[in-house]
Homo-oligomer: A and B are copies of this chain.
Amino acid sequence: MEHLQHLPGIGPKSAQRLALHILKRPEEEVKALAMALVEAKLQVGYCSVCGHLSAEPVCDICRAPNRDSKTICIVADSRDVIALEKTREYRGKYHVLGGLISPIDGIGPEQLSIQQLVRRVSQQKVEEAILAISPSVEGETTTLYVGHLLKPFTRVTRIAFGLPMGGDLEYADEVTLARALEGRRDLE
């Protein structure tokens, strides 16, 4: 229970429920779970190119020959790569920063893989760097910081902010509506 409580989203009650569940399961099942945890930890590391989770030294996306290596989408976390891959719209490569700049939490640019990104963009023929970072205070700081560093080398864009799909104008918050108005585009 003590160990389970350290997992995200697991409080004392959930930890107890999980522990009691495990005690009831057959021995092989518990061993398989324990093995899976250790194996995943031992085998999965980070891609040496983009920083995404990978069981190989270079990840599947970085090795894919049919993906456009002239476009790099910059995200905070591997979870964002997974979310963007689900859209099946993006055919370029990624760069995972490993977090966001957050002075309050003591995270500065040097703790993130920003240097590697700048090296990657400056040394390869990158035509567009897309900043796909959530619009929080830390996200804005990181977007502006990274954008400033990349601009000498490539075109820098950022994803659109506005009304989510299925979102009703009436129920959108004021800041979202203001951004949707500000970001308006010519109707094609």
Residues of A with Cβ closer than 8 Å to B? 73, 75-77, 79-80, 83-84, 86-90, 130-136, 143-144, 147, 151, 155-170, 172-187
A93 to chain B, nearest CB (A): 14
Closest chain B residue to A151, Cβ basis:
B187
Contact with A167, one of B86, B87, B135, B183 (Cβ below 8 angstroms): B135
Interchain residue pairs with CB less than 8 A apart (13): A80-B169, A80-B170, A83-B177, A88-B174, A89-B177, A89-B181, A143-B187, A144-B187, A157-B184, A160-B162, A160-B181, A161-B180, A162-B183
| CB-CB nearest in chain B for A188 | B147
| Least CB distance, A73 to chain B, in whole angstroms | 8
CB distance from A40 to the nearest CB of B (A): 20
Using CB atoms, name the residue of chain B closest to A84. B177
The count of identical subunits is 2
Per DSSP, chain A at the interface is mixed
B residues near A89, Cβ cutoff 8 Å: 177-178, 181-182
B181 touches A87 (CB 8 A): yes
Select from chain B the residue with minimum beta-carbon distance to A179. Answer: B165
Contact check: which of B79, B134, B157, B169 meets A134 at CB < 8 Å?
B169
